[in-house]
Structure 1
Amino acid sequence: MKYVSLGKTGPKVSAFGLGCMGMSGMYGPSDRAESIATIHAAMEAGVTLLDTGDFYGMGHNELLIAEALKGKDRDQVQLSVKFGAQRDPSAGWIGFDGRPSAVKTSLAYTLVRLGVDHIDVYRPARLDPNVPIEDTIGAIADMVKAGYVRHIGLSEVGPDTIRRASAVHPIVDLQIEYSLMSRGIEQAILPTTRELGIGITAYGVLSRGLLSGSQSSGAGDFRAHSPRFQGDNLARNEALAAALQKVAASKGMTASQAAIAWVAAQGSDIVPVIGARKRHQLDESLKALDFALTADDLAILEAAVPKDSVAGGRYPEAQLAHLDSEKNHA
């Protein structure tokens, strides 16, 4: 495993992180024992960055990670936690709460569920349109001073919000979707984070499984509602994935490995977050570390999946309309 600094003020973390969301039902049913075994396998491979959200499975994901960390050295991992998304008992999404009181309440519950005394990177999952980002970040900064949080991150926000947040407290990383199929950050967001010395933790590196040939498992799967997995869009995107697979095979890689290696090759400030739910998926993904892509290799991969060639948005239109990161590309 290789290790990098998360932004200019952040901790040293593994070059790949493990995204644990899929272990709590976002992509259909998951196996608890296999999920825990996957977390253990990741740690044994040198992965130190574990990413979660307090709303993944309504706390299920944090409890799962707590179980996996029982008997382990707490300092062996950095826990990255998103907060603020509001959900109802039927798992519906009903808004976002970034008020200072909500920040501190969410953190209190997260510390108990995870069974730890601090969170390494704490971040609002989205921008609350009703609360100035300065208030939200200021509340987390209070928790840094109190010792409950080590570092502050952001998620899915655009350049203006990034600048305003970093004026309140150092920001170590922005978590945002980035892949061969989702390259929107390259226009304005990535230049901003690089100017400010903020790292990127890139999720969706396989474009929700599109690039690896994964299929929606049904109604409980996020992809059942994703525009990229619908009708003609899916057919067009599967053709792109097939082109990637062909090129990857010629280089001795799987499509997944090629997609992950491409993201990793975009800069040492970018940490791909691997959403493996099973050990064999993790093993395949981590092998992407072994490939050093040349400029020619990158050009060939980008020719297989040209920029802006994907059909459909990365979230349904109603969700995209509320994403601060999408409003700030221009």
Structure 2
Amino acid sequence: MRLVGGRGVEALRRVWLGPAVVAAVAQWLPRGIVAAVLAVPYLALTAALAGVAAVRAWTYLAPSLRATSTAAARPLAGRAPHTEGSGSVTHQRTAGVGQRRWVVEVAVWTALATPVVGALALVAERAGVRLFGFRLSILALTVAHFHVAGFAAALVAGLVARATAAGALGTTAALCVPGGTLLVLLGFFVGDEVELAGAAVLTAGMWAAGWLTWRDVRPHSPDRVTRGLLAASSAVLAATMVLALSWALGEATGLPHPSITWMAATHGVTNALGFALCAVLAWRRLGARPL
């Protein structure tokens, strides 16, 4: 969380460790009221984090919305004519910077907002409640998915996009990771075809982030350990996201595909340790300015 700036995030970070550790302990206890209650404080923290995301999004978008509203209400005759020259060039440059920042912001909003989905699934799974009718095994995997693909992947995609000036691939990473994550969530309720589309979009974003990390970020890292962490976080995505696609394709079409248990042991563990942990540690070692 130190990779994200803002007073709201800083305040939550100071109290995050305790509830997070207690929630982790709850996962080792038998399902029941005790395990569920232990996970509730963490759910409250993630809900507050989602609130920070909403405030941050509104703070960023509100000036543009007000400017658009004012421009629409302004009489046509009162508008200044468009002129070419240094002013328009300055405007274009400013707009370009703003657009790049918008791309990064989308990734940050997603990183802050999605852990609450995993925390809600955690409380329900620990209580033995089939939330929205989902099997408890699916709820357990949802906990990990929305912390790795939701928080960590979106955060890394935002960092990569900023580091590479949000070029075409950086924009792909910063938008496809959030978009794919939300499509996968929608697919839980709508159908396997939507979930497959989400997996494809998410894979495109993860591969873009991985390639940019390998090509543009890793070579400029100051030490061997950081370069190794970045290399590991990039390399594992080549295999783990193929597994994600194969599973989603099998669910949507009935073709043979890995089981949930096998996916958790391979795709899940490798992404959590090989991608998320290595990437976050590397960006911390790089001393990245908070997003």
- Where is the helix percentage greater, Structure 1 or Structure 2? 2
Instruction: With the length of structure 2 as denominator, give the TM-score of the two structures.
Output: 0.27
- Where is the strand percentage greater, Structure 1 or Structure 2? 1
RCO higher in structure (CA 8 A, sep ≥6): 1
Q: Which structure has the greater CA radius of gyration?
A: 2
Instruction: With the length of structure 1 as denominator, give the TM-score of the two structures.
Output: 0.24
